[in-house]
Amino acid sequence: MIAIAIDDEPIALDVVRSHASKVSFISLEAVFTNAFEAISYLQQHEVDLIFLDIKMPDISGIDFLNSLSNPPLVIFTTAYAEHAIKGFELNALDYLLKPFSLARFLKACNKAEELYSLRKKITSPAQPVYIFIKDGYEQIKVAIDEILYIEADGNYTRINLLNKPLLSTRMPVSEMQALLPSQKFIRTHRAFIVAKNAITKFDRNQIWIGDQLIPIGPTYAQCLLDL
């Protein structure tokens, strides 16, 4: 997790820096005594976690957090226990009362890592590693990464595989496209779907997979933007 720390006291930042160096999954990329410099940093860098002091001279940590439209995870750090309730009202992940021990710091970091991992799973669903292709009354399992390209051929759709025999199915190309992850395949023509990783070269009108030439239909010209 990429983290930053904001505190007007350099000694307090040294404590966070020292503790963070002992937590393997925390990478403390920057520290700030000026909250406004931190705002500029956040506008240019992705940050997963902020260690944020509450009582600062120019802007409080609470006001700072309220100013962020899409804040990362936040762990408040402060010497004033009375700020805890307000901090949790803002959905702060945890509250570290100064001076805090490494053990207490690690407990807060573990909580952050658990929530961070959960969010990643929700926002980044796993891609399928295989699909099932209809072949008469049977369903044949095909690994996604073995598919080179798919071609409509009359009443059939041909599935060209890496180092394996050609497969044929009566599934239409459009139905095949719905089964395949869009991150890995592009539709180049009404009759063709191509695996991005299999492409060896292309121009405005065609794509090559090795020696095999795949046309790019006029209505599919935008497919090259997805490469």
| DSSP states along 125-192 | PPPPSEEEEEETTEEEEEEGGGEEEEEEETTEEEEEETTS--EEESS-HHHHHHHS-TTTEEEEETTE
CATH code of the domain covering residue 89: 3.40.50.2300
pLDDT of residue 188: 94
Residues 82 and 139 in one domain: no
Residues 189 and 155 in one domain: yes
More confident: 182 or 146: 146
Residues 119 and 141 in one domain: no
* The length of the chain, given as a count of residues: 227
Residues 54 and 28 in one domain: yes
Is the pLDDT confidence value at 200 over 80?
yes
41 token code pair: 């940093």
- Of the pLDDT bands very low, low, confident and very high (cuts 50, 70, 90), residue 53 is very high
CB atoms within 10 A of CB 42: 18
Is the pLDDT confidence value at 84 over 60?
no
Domain end call among 123, 147, 176: 123
Domain end call among 99, 123, 147: 123
Domain end call among 103, 123, 143: 123
CA 60 to chain centroid, in Å, comes to 31
Residues 90 and 24 in one domain: yes
Domain span at residue 53 reads 2-123
CATH code of the domain covering residue 150: 2.40.50.1020
Map tokens 């009375």 to a residue. Answer: 82
pLDDT of residue 28: 97
Average of per-residue pLDDT across 65-76: 87
59 token code pair: 């802007």
pLDDT of residue 163: 87
Can you give the pTM of this predicted structure?
A: 0.56
pLDDT averaged over the chain?
Answer: 89
Is the pLDDT confidence value at 107 over 60?
yes
Residues 45 and 91 in one domain: yes
Low-confidence winner among 119-133, 195-209, 210-224 (lowest mean pLDDT): 119-133
The total of structural domains in the chain comes to 2
